[in-house]
């Protein structure tokens, strides 16, 4: 017997060697460490809420890289709370602070404190949502949220289903795979080779094609790559000036593809809330076309989906027709401020998801498929992201989601009015119709002013010369850089359709303060004037 009593008599393992991950009861460590971390969390939120706080800690990434290094120690003192808290502090001190409300750069914003609580709860139960036996409540929360979302989108005719996915891109990718496998039954066993063979036998063009608008999110292209279709199988359909897919152009493209033998259409993607302009493709028209051409209709409502909760009919009607889709992606982690990540893929017919399932005898022991969420996806282990959305639903209610979205719409229209009140300093870009939450604008050289802007403030479709587009884009990028340096606002810039050049693009989040939005517009105007002055002197 070894003196140290190792059960296996293996002298390398000392009986006193407890895992350093548990030198004390976890409840003791939790009681000591968590309140201190929570205090830092509260400090981060409070500092963000101070009026003059910076939204970004660094004006430039290279400077950040030079200044900050993260250690990976070999040995550390036992239970070193100080090092841990220092590390957490370093995170807060060097993070973009969404709690400022001036992070208007991306389609997500600060969560609410309920989101932080939800993340804490998720980590505490640390349950894998692949099977219900491992995560009873999390799985039930997922089931209920899926039911709730299916209901609002009108997936009520058949037994609908869905699941959380780690992001809208993954949800879109799973939708493309699911569509392929359901439209072409050989796909599952034989892959694309089988699909091509089938199409050849049926004297149809042996290349499955996916149709989407030129304004769609790039995840559709990525989905085509990962499904083995390749980028050439994605046909981009033209949009109108407000960024909506043109249904006539879609119909013509589908017919042309078939007649020319270029390929066989199998999926139409409609975007509800495009990434740059915030436009909504016309769902009833696209649904009718999809039916006529025997295509799967997917709606990428990653960004705009929550409009379905709006109490303003003009807006909630933008999702009318969703019930005719085969699948829908929605990201509560964007407009609904649930913490990253929380996305859902919904399907109108639960059976379509069985194309993705395999029996794994060591994991799936229940014949009730509701208990085997991982069977619906290509993944296995899954975070219980639905819990966060469920806790939001419990906290704010369905009507609360609607009022939240409407508050954002109200701010956006007030901001557009404000921009229009400065026609000699700011050029307003094209807007979604009806206006959604993105607003594109750029500084205007004073002498150039007014004439570009029509009565209602929209850019006149007058053609700018290439040189003029370049000049205005350069001014936009100057403003963007200067805003970055000042660190009070985070906004993005983007090239807009039809070759009109770059514009500052901001996303109005429902919890943004109007004063901040006005201050930003004023700064864009001011920095713009500075730029044009410098140009004249140069
Ligand atoms: C954000 C977005 C996506 C991708 O969602 P992720 O969660 O970032 O993967 C897809 N489509 C649209 C329209 C989006 O706005």
Q: Compute the distance from residue 169 Cα to the ligand 1 centre, in Å.
A: 6
Residue 294, judged by CB atoms within 10 A of its CB (0-12, 13-18, 19+), counts as exposed
Q: Which of 94, 102, 135 is nearest to 483 (CA)?
A: 102
How many CA within 13 A on the CB side of residue 353? Answer: 24
Nearest atom (ligand 1) to Cα of 303? 15
CA distances from 344 to 150, 163, 411 (A): 10, 6, 27
Return all residues near 52 (Cβ < 8 A) that are at least 6 apart. 488
In the predicted structure, residue 13 carries a pLDDT above the cut 80: no
Return all residues near 271 (Cβ < 8 A) that are at least 6 apart. 212, 213, 215, 216, 217, 245, 279, 280, 281, 299, 300, 301, 304
CA distance 219 to 496: 19
Residue 427 main-chain phi, psi, to 5 deg: -105, 120
CA distance 355 to 378: 10
DSSP 272: B
CA distances from 264 to 99, 111, 298 (A): 48, 43, 17
Polymer length in residues for the chain: 538
Q: Residue 145 in contact with residue 132, Cβ under 8 Å?
A: no
Mean local confidence (pLDDT), 339-368: 86
DSSP 158: S
In the predicted structure, residue 454 carries a pLDDT above the cut 60: no
What is the reported pLDDT for 453? 46
Q: Give the confidence band of 451 by pLDDT, cuts at 50, 70, 90.
A: very low
Return all residues near 524 (Cβ < 8 A) that are at least 6 apart. 426, 441, 442, 443, 479, 483, 504
Question: Mind listing the pLDDT tens digit for each residue in 121-141?
Answer: 999 999 898 888 888 999 999
What HEC string does 13-58 produce?
Answer: CCCCCCCHHHCCCHHHHHHHHHHHHHHHHHHHHHHHHCCCCCCCCC
Alpha helices in 421-502 (DSSP H): 466-486
Q: How many C-beta neighbours within 10 Å does residue 311 have?
A: 11
Ligand 1 pocket mutation, candidates 212, 299, 302, criterion most atoms within 8 A of CB: 302
What is the reported pLDDT for 7? 45
Ligand 1 pocket mutation, candidates 215, 222, 275, criterion most atoms within 8 A of CB: 275
What is the reported pLDDT for 536? 86
Ligand 1, CB within 6 Å, residue ranges: 107, 167-169, 172, 217, 219, 271, 273, 275, 300, 302-303, 331, 343
CA distance 389 to 406: 19
What is the reported pLDDT for 460? 47
Ligand 1 pocket mutation, candidates 109, 165, 167, 213, criterion most atoms within 8 A of CB: 167
What is the reported pLDDT for 2? 41
Question: Mind listing the pLDDT tens digit for each residue in 40-78?
Answer: 999 999 999 998 899 999 988 999 999 999 999 999 988
What is the reported pLDDT for 446? 79
User: For residue 174, what is the enclosing H or E element?
Assistant: helix 168-183
Q: Compute the distance from residue 107 Cα to the ligand 1 centre, in Å.
A: 9
Please provide the average confidence, as pLDDT, over all residues in the chain: 92
Q: Compute the distance from residue 333 Cα to the ligand 1 centre, in Å.
A: 10
What is the reported pLDDT for 336? 98
Q: Give the confidence band of 1 by pLDDT, cuts at 50, 70, 90.
A: very low
Nearest atom (ligand 1) to Cα of 274? 13
Q: What is the pTM of this model?
A: 0.93
Return all residues near 484 (Cβ < 8 A) that are at least 6 apart. 56, 59, 60, 490
In the predicted structure, residue 523 carries a pLDDT above the cut 90: yes
Portion of the chain with pLDDT greater than 90, in percent = 80
**Residue 439, both tokens:** 């607003």
Nearest atom (ligand 1) to Cα of 271? 13
Q: Give the confidence band of 11 by pLDDT, cuts at 50, 70, 90.
A: very low
Mean local confidence (pLDDT), 270-295: 97
Q: Give the confidence band of 374 by pLDDT, cuts at 50, 70, 90.
A: confident
What is the reported pLDDT for 497? 81
Q: Compute the distance from residue 155 Cα to the ligand 1 centre, in Å.
A: 22
Ligand 1 pocket mutation, candidates 172, 303, 318, criterion most atoms within 8 A of CB: 303
Q: Compute the distance from residue 411 Cα to the ligand 1 centre, in Å.
A: 23
Q: Give the confidence band of 491 by pLDDT, cuts at 50, 70, 90.
A: very high
Strand order, beta sheet including 343-347: 161-165, 343-347, 327-330, 296-301, 264-271, 208-213, 234-237
CA distances from 287 to 247, 293, 329, 385 (A): 10, 10, 16, 30
CA distance 477 to 471: 10
Mean local confidence (pLDDT), 329-336: 98
Nearest atom (ligand 1) to Cα of 333? 7
DSSP 456: T
Q: Which domains does the chain have, with CATH numbers?
A: 124-398 (3.40.640.10)
Q: Output the residue whose Cα is nearest ligand 1's atom 4.
A: 168
DSSP 130: T
Question: Mind listing the pLDDT tens digit for each residue in 225-276?
Answer: 999 999 999 999 999 989 999 999 999 999 999 999 999 999 999 999 999 9
Nearest atom (ligand 1) to Cα of 216? 13
What is the reported pLDDT for 378? 83
What is the reported pLDDT for 359? 73
**Residue 138, both tokens:** 């999390």
Q: Compute the distance from residue 332 Cα to the ligand 1 centre, in Å.
A: 11
Burial annotation 68-83 (CB, 10 A radius, 16+ → b, else e) = eeeeeeeeeeeeeeee
Nearest atom (ligand 1) to Cα of 170? 9
Residue 88 main-chain phi, psi, to 5 deg: -65, -40
The helix/strand/coil state of 490 is: strand
Nearest atom (ligand 1) to Cα of 341? 7
What is the reported pLDDT for 9? 44
Q: Compute the distance from residue 119 Cα to the ligand 1 centre, in Å.
A: 21
Nearest atom (ligand 1) to Cα of 275? 15
What is the reported pLDDT for 180? 97
Residue 439 main-chain phi, psi, to 5 deg: -130, 125
The helix/strand/coil state of 430 is: coil
Mean local confidence (pLDDT), 489-495: 93
Nearest atom (ligand 1) to Cα of 340? 7
Q: Compute the distance from residue 486 Cα to the ligand 1 centre, in Å.
A: 28
CA distance 64 to 53: 18
CA distance 481 to 61: 13
Question: Mind listing the pLDDT tens digit for each residue in 169-228?
Answer: 999 999 999 999 999 999 999 999 999 999 999 999 999 999 999 999 999 999 999 999
Phi-psi region of 409 (alpha: psi -120 to 50; beta: other; left: phi over 0): alpha
In the predicted structure, residue 449 carries a pLDDT above the cut 90: no
Q: Give the confidence band of 12 by pLDDT, cuts at 50, 70, 90.
A: low
What is the reported pLDDT for 461? 45
The helix/strand/coil state of 493 is: strand
DSSP 371: G
């Amino acid at each position: 017997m070894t003196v140290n009593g190792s059960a296996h008599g293996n002298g390398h393992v000392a009986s006193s060697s407890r895992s350093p991950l548990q030198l004390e009861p976890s409840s003791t460590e939790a009681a000591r460490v968590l309140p201190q971390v929570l205090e830092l969390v509260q400090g981060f939120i409070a500092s963000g809420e101070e009026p003059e706080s910076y939204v970004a800690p660094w004006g430039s990434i290279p400077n950040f890289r030079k200044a900050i290094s993260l250690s990976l120690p070999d040995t550390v003192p036992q239970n070193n709370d100080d090092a841990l808290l220092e590390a957490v502090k370093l995170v807060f001190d060097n993070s973009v602070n969404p709690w400022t409300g001036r992070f208007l750069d991306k389609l997500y914003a600060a969560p609410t404190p309920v989101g932080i609580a939800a993340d804490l709860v998720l980590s505490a139960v640390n349950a894998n949502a692949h099977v219900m036996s491992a995560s009873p409540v999390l799985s039930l929360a997922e089931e209920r949220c899926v039911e709730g979302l299916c209901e609002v989108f009108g997936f009520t005719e058949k037994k609908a289903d869905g699941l959380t996915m780690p992001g809208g891109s993954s949800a879109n990718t799973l939708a493309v795979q699911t569509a392929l496998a359901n439209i072409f039954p050989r796909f599952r066993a034989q892959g694309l080779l089988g699909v091509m063979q089938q199409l050849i036998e049926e004297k149809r063009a042996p290349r499955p094609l996916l149709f989407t608008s030129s304004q769609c999110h790039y995840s559709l292209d990525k989905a085509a790559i990962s499904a083995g279709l390749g980028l050439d199988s994605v046909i981009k359909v033209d949009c109108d000036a407000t960024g909506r897919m043109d249904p006539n152009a879609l119909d013509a493209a589908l017919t042309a593809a078939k007649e020319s033998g270029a390929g066989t259409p199998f999926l139409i993607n409609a975007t509800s809330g495009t990434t740059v302009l915030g436009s909504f493709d016309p769902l009833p028209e696209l649904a009718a076309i999809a039916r006529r051409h025997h295509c799967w209709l997917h709606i990428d409502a990653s960004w705009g989906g929550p409009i379905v909760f709006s109490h303003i009919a003009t807006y909630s009607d933008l999702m009318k027709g969703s019930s005719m889709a085969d699948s829908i992606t929605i990201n509560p982690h964007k407009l609904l401020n649930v913490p990253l990540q929380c996305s859902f893929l919904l399907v109108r017919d639960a059976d379509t998801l069985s194309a993705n399932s395999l029996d794994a005898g060591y994991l799936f022991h229940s014949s009730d498929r509701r208990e085997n969420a991982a069977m619906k996806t290509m993944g296995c282990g899954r975070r219980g992201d639905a819990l966060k959305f469920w806790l939001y639903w419990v906290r704010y209610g369905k009507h609360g989601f609607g009022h939240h979205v409407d508050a954002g719409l109200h701010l956006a229209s007030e901001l557009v009015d404000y921009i229009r009140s400065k026609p000699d300093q700011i050029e307003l870009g094209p807007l979604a119709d009806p206006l959604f939450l993105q607003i594109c604008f750029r500084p205007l050289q004073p002498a150039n002013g007014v004439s570009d802007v029509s009565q209602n403030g929209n850019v006149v479709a007058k053609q700018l010369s290439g040189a003029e587009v370049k000049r205005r884009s350069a001014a936009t990028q100057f403003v963007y850089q200067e805003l970055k340096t000042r660190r009070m606002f985070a906004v993005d810039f983007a090239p807009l359709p039809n070759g009109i050049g770059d514009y500052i693009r901001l996303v109005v989040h429902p919890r943004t303060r109007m004063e901040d939005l006005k201050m930003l517009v004023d700064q864009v105007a001011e920095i713009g004037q500075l730029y044009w002055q410098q140009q004249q002197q140069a």
